[in-house]
Amino acid sequence: MSQSVSQPATETTAAALFVANIYFSTLVCLSFLVPSIVAGEALIQIGSIPLKGVEGRLDHLTFDPRSQRLFIAALENHTIEVVDLKTRHRAQQIRGVSEPQGLLYIPERNRLLVCCRGDGTCRSFDGTTFQEGPWIDLGRNADNLRFDAEAQVIYVGSGGEPGNGLLSGIDLVSLLPARQGGRPAPPYSPADFLLDRPRQADPSTEIQLPAHPESFQLDRAAGRILVNVPDEHQVEVLQVGTNGLIKLAFWPVTVGEKNFPMALDATSARLFIACRKPPLLAVYDTRTGSLLSQTRCVGDADDMFYDQSRRRIYVIGGEGFVDVFHIAVNDERPRRVIHLATHSRARTGLLIPEFQTLAVAAPHTGDGQASILLYQAKP
């Protein structure tokens, strides 16, 4: 009798232990899953816009908040793709642009600026008619550009690959047509009249760099420009003065190679750099140039953006993911809250804070035609 009673008790105890183990294991698994589930709400795909017939690499983007048009540099397609985000379709295409890379739209002037790898020019277009206006020849490989609205100066990185790089400052007024109060320079030679670009701008200042500059950021409060120079594994620190650009220092990037994208949080004196080899996000103190932290991120990164209102960093990588990092108020390293799949070779994009939208440029691959992937940023 005792045996008949003790056996079920043993089975009951074993069953209870088995259930407890399953329950505990489930809790352990969920403890790892919960942050991902919650973090997944930080960025949600809300649609895509096809770019039929666009082939090859897609480079940088810019945005017109008034008309809600997105401009995409289709580098190997030699076009600028114009997308209407209200209707979510391609509205227009600017053809015959020699390998466009960097784009900048200036709403106050309704002006689109395009930097070209193919012919080394920075070209300006009317934002409505796309009629071309003044332009500047920067030699070769014109790439990223930034606008200092207070000084009304455009900064453009060019050159290198191989050889010295160049950072040029161009007065905006020299890239505007006369009807907008522009003061373009006269042609250099009669041959200039044979082009569709009859007048040329001149740089107001320029400075040589040891190699081609990639992403750079304007630290306006400090009167500096911070420039990624990946071939030299460093960040060049330039002072913006009344006599032009002056080299202040350089900060070695020793944690990784191919430091292409960069973002800046000037209020907390933090500079964010993504390296490709190995793939990591490095944080530097802009007061000292010292490395504060490093953490793994998506591979083949080419664009990254800092969302100050949400204290987030978005890193877009050609490995086929977007990484979203939360930036703590203290000096803790960034915490990755989501690793969101996009498309292979989709490594550029644009954060549009006004519309809480992240646009990612996905080139034509075996999985489908070129497109713009749209994501909504959540609180």
Q: What architecture does CATH give domain 97-213?
A: 7 Propeller (2.130)
d(CA 224, CA 214): 16
d(CA 313, CA 325): 5
The pLDDT profile of the chain, 379 residues, written as one tens digit per residue, is 333 333 344 444 444 443 344 333 333 333 333 333 344 578 999 999 999 999 999 999 999 999 999 999 999 999 999 999 999 999 999 999 999 999 999 999 999 999 999 999 999 999 999 999 999 999 999 999 999 999 999 999 999 988 999 999 999 999 998 888 888 776 665 555 555 444 578 899 999 999 999 999 999 999 999 999 999 999 999 999 988 999 999 999 999 999 999 999 999 999 999 999 999 999 999 999 999 999 999 999 999 999 999 999 999 999 999 999 999 887 789 999 999 999 999 999 999 999 999 999 999 998 789 999 999 998 8
For residue 9, the model assigns a pLDDT of 41
For residue 188, the model assigns a pLDDT of 60
Q: Which residue has the tokens 């407890």?
A: 20
d(CA 208, CA 245): 10
User: Which residue from 41, 27, 61 is spatially nearest to 351, judged by alpha carbons?
Assistant: 61
Show me where the domains of the chain are located. 97-213, 219-341
For residue 199, the model assigns a pLDDT of 54
Give the pairing of strands 111-116 and 121-126: antiparallel
Q: What architecture does CATH give domain 219-341?
A: 7 Propeller (2.130)
CA angle 102, 326, 217 (to 5 degrees): 30
How many residues in total does the chain contain?
A: 379
For residue 192, the model assigns a pLDDT of 57
Alpha carbon 341 to chain centroid distance? 17
3 state SS for the chain:
CHHHHHHHHHHHHHHHHHHHHHHHHHHHHHHHHHHHHHHHCCEEEEEEEECCCCCCCCCCEEEECCCCEEEEEEHHHCEEEEEECCCCEEEEEEECCCCEEEEEEEHHHCEEEEEECCCCEEEEEECCCCCEEEEEECCCCCCCEEEECCCCEEEEEEECCCCCEEEEEEEHHHHCCHHHCCCCECCCCHHHHHCCCCCECCCCEEEEECCCCCCEEEEHHHCEEEEEEHHHCEEEEEEEECCEEEEEEEEECCCCEEEEEEEEEHHHCEEEEEEEECEEEEEEECCCCCEEEEEECCCCEEEEEEECCCCEEEEEECCCEEEEEECCCCCCCCEEEEEEECCCCCCEEEEEHHHCEEEEEECCECCECCEEEEEEECC
Residue 175 tokens read as: 């890239």
Residue 309 tokens read as: 């209102």
Contact assessment for residue 253 and residue 259, using Cβ atoms and an 8 Å cutoff: yes
Contact assessment for residue 59 and residue 102, using Cβ atoms and an 8 Å cutoff: yes
For residue 193, the model assigns a pLDDT of 53
CA atoms within 13 A on the CB side of 127: 23
Alpha carbon 75 to chain centroid distance? 15
The yes-or-no answer to whether 97-213 and 219-341 have a common fold is yes
For residue 237, the model assigns a pLDDT of 98
d(CA 145, CA 237): 16
